[in-house]
Amino acid sequence: MFRPIYILIFKILGWKVTGSLPPHEKKFIIAVAPHTSNWDFPLGLAARSILRIQKAQFLGKSQLFKPPFGWFFRALGGHPVERTTSHDMVEQVVKIFDRHNEFILAVAPEGTRKKVEKLRTGFYYIAKGAHVPIVPVGFDFKRKEVSVSQPIYPSDNIEGDMEKILSFYRTITGRNAELGLS
Residue 7 belongs to some domain of the structure:
yes
- What does the mean pLDDT of the chain come to? 84
Band of residue 63 on the pLDDT scale cut at 50, 70, 90: confident
Largest CA distance in the chain: 44
Residue 167 belongs to some domain of the structure:
yes
Distance CA 76, CA 59 (A): 11
> pLDDT digit string (tens) for 35-55?
777 777 788 888 888 888 867
Residue 181 belongs to some domain of the structure:
no
pTM: 0.82
Residue 98 belongs to some domain of the structure:
yes
Q: Which of 115, 106, 112 is nearest to 138 (CA)?
A: 106
Distance CA 123, CA 64 (A): 20
HEC profile of the chain: CCHHHHHHHHHHHCCEEECCCCCCCCEEEEEECCCCCCCHHHHHHHHHHHCCCCCCEEEEEHHHHCCCCHHHHHHCCEEEECCCCCCCHHHHHHHHHHHCCCEEEEECCCCCCCCCCCCCCHHHHHHHHHCCCEEEEEEECCCCEEEECCCECCCCCHHHHHHHHHHHHCCCCCCCHHHCCC
* CA dihedral sign of residues 93, 94, 96, 102: positive
Residue 76 belongs to some domain of the structure:
yes
Residue 150 belongs to some domain of the structure:
yes
> Structural domain tally of the chain?
1
> pLDDT digit string (tens) for 143-157?
999 999 999 999 999
Residue 23 belongs to some domain of the structure:
yes
> pLDDT digit string (tens) for 80-125?
776 665 568 888 889 889 988 999 998 888 655 455 567 778 899 9
CATH of the domain at 109: 3.40.35
Residue 182 belongs to some domain of the structure:
no
In which domain, by residue range, is 18 found?
A: 3-176
